[in-house]
Structure 1
């Protein structure tokens, strides 16, 4: 900008006198300086341009304060000492079209200097040309009709034209179409003396591309106030615009990366929740519920479901978000059937376009179906659907694939756990049961007897124990062989089961010894009689027939009696029955009485 008090051709006057014309942008950076005062003070414009006023005036706080006052919108005047010579300086705010301050310009005149206007004659032309031609930024005198009247080398280099070509056109021809209306509006405002303005615009380079420039224009009037021409300063800011665009692109990329990072954090949180749930929970039903609900809550998916294969159907295990749901889906049906056949996860961006979609509820817009595997075998599928305006994306697909792998691990672990539990149960059964007869063994009988006595001690049913030893089994085993003996022992076990109620416990103690634990039976003698009767019935073994009898001793538990005591009393009764002639049943009390009588005799 140029001060309105300067008339005719200020550049000529400035170049020929100890005067400095300068301008600062709104940030306080020196964007223009010219004048004979620079050489007088031993300064070069190239050393000063684009430096902040705070650095240039660091040793002159008064001058710096005047600059800041002008940048705040208040004109100022002051004295600056350059090369031991005082300069009177005027600081004038520069304003935009709406009156806002967008910088300032100033004029420094050496004390005692009269700044006069001079026509550019042959006498002063060389001074004028020097200041104009060697300016660091593009400069031009522009006619009121827009024609270029004079241009410097910097402007020619900026626009790619030689001087003659540029003088043959006008600024309108080289202005970007989108900027021309505003440019002409600013020209009219300058002619009306309503603004003095900086403005950014785009110029068309000779090669056809457009470049960004920072334009500063002021109007020059003659002594009578008539408008003569414009003085334009044109600074290349293409690099700055590219930097701004790069910054905007960088900010956009940063926002994208931030959104991606936030999503990744949620994905990791979800995967961690799922892995933790699988590590803590071996029950498949509970694990599937935790997984489905974690998926729904972490990402806000409105409909999530998980199905496992049972035969030729996929059966629902857990779901979130469905008022009505398909409890069973044929293995080959729907999107899930296609996902299983193709062995890959499927994303349907618009379910209306896919005839295989099976809609459980209205309003579903997109779907992801991920097949699940158990050790490489199809095991089911994980399904996510969106409702309303929400659309599932490739990012959702990748997340569901990762979760599908975790669910597959859960299925495999659940099956391994079930197999392990079955094996443990089988081993526990073997530890407590006789493999030949499948009856409880001595250890199994001991645990059952301990429980029964504990219940009796708390007021439960009466407990009784029958101790059974087969008569003549060794002879049959020796005569017919061990296989026949084993078959006979199995038949004995079946007949003992037939003698008791469901709550009673027949057991094999080893060899040809058996026992029966009774709870709540009042007629122990009757049960012993049934045992003798069942076992005395002949057994068909191949072509042979074997008959085996048994000696049975019984005992009824007394208050506070231990299992060992009860077993000992039943065993004593058993041997009493054998000594009495075998194939008979004796209770412990009767056995004691018989033993007492034998002693007396």
Structure 2
């Protein structure tokens, strides 16, 4: 009897929508307590996983992780890899929501590769969509868009409408975040339509994005409607993270429409809810909004408390993620400055407006530094990093010239790799690191940054301040900061201005704050470029003969397979030439292996020069070579080209004044006349080559007869 009731409860439970968060958790936990024995392993796995996903909605990430871990373990025992990967997708979502984007991205990347191997297209599409989402969150928009377009193609194949809405939403969000409102609108509207039909658990996200879109389009009535609907949906289903997002954007909308008090209420609710879920990002964002509100109503004491809270959150956030690092100079001085300002407010009310203006400028500067840092560290392309730095620095300081030099400690040289003068990039150069020869060298050797406002001041650091090679600009003011990784100097950044007194200590601190970002970005870029080059070199070495530079046996046989496939597809013919050198052993025995190596290189060059661009040549082993003649090669053409190669091979080779004679015996086989696959063709060409040797060498032979 109990068993029948249990089965009925399970059927009813499985019909619950994912949006019924509380019901899914409570009913699932109740049923789970009644399931015992090995007969219910699959049901227990299902319940643990579903409860875990519902706990994600509620923002209880640790509990969700435990439930999902149990579900994944049971699915693994059952050998159900599809459900194992679905559980891992949920882990990735937890990492993303708990502000660990790098871990989330790696998780989704692993899932994508496994799903692709197992041909689980829906899971592959979901993982790629989530990779695009994480890239959007990290402001890596171009990379995110590329992933999302791949996911869009896959979802057209799978036909999963909820996944389609998710992909369209992320593409729309990608465009919306970058400010491309017209491009974002059709994606978000279609996603909204599908979400309303599917009633998926993620539909609150679409409502929030639509609210943000309409707000930026000044369609305020529709914006309020969508954001309020999102809040209602999240509260009804206890989706805490969604409620935080909706409250933050609703507060922004109230502020935009002149309803400051209502905006503050929304931000305060957002702050409290973010605190309960330990989501620093939205505590910081809503806190910054509230600081502005408290200043507006002249509640400076509350503004100070909020700024102290933001400082603590930003400090913790910096320790966890480099991409949200806040500059050292502003972190160390902001609260001290504010404490002093509070005292000044009490004594000098007339200075309040000036203090408020200065602090707002500091906050704007702080945000700009943070944004620049995120943009720099989001790219591995050195040219893009330098372009971003040059374009964005002008928002903070005067820049008529910029220079980045890397410190080559062993060589005691400066690799001045990036020189930009009035927007134009000059050629890289090098200079010795000598203490009195340049400002950059002085900064590195003394481990100090430099601020100069006239050229005359440079005499304290260098004997003569000369221009960088190729420069035609006469600069008067200079800022130089060291670029460091783990307290090790890797180079210097210098900005220059043509006018005197262009820079202050504040400008130097700004550049010092950015130096860490720049050093990390360039170091990562250099490491990435080195890895790419190393991988290319390894790939080349694996497929080419180190002696001659020709494709090796594996590579030339792969090429033969490709050409045979092409010949079959287009009903074409081709020829295979097997060449074995005559007299090569005599060269080695008489003149030594250096002469033999020289001969092999000469033969390789002659064979490469003697074939057409569409043909191919490779070294099989020792003194054996294989030539593939393509492009619908007839018997007559093949024999003619073989004869040309034979003549080239027989020409004298001069090594250290010694005249060496080496010839070639050439065997031919034709497709499809002699064979239909690569193995048969090479074997027949090899036999024909032996015929040529038996008939006196330095000849051409086919399978039928020597020529």
Select the structure that is richer in strand: 1
Q: Please give the range of the TM-score, normalised by the shorter of the 2 chains.
A: 0.3 to 0.5
From the two aligned structures, give the one with the greater helix fraction: 2
* Normalised TM-score (structure 1): 0.44
Rg larger for: 1
Q: TM-score scaled by structure 2?
A: 0.39
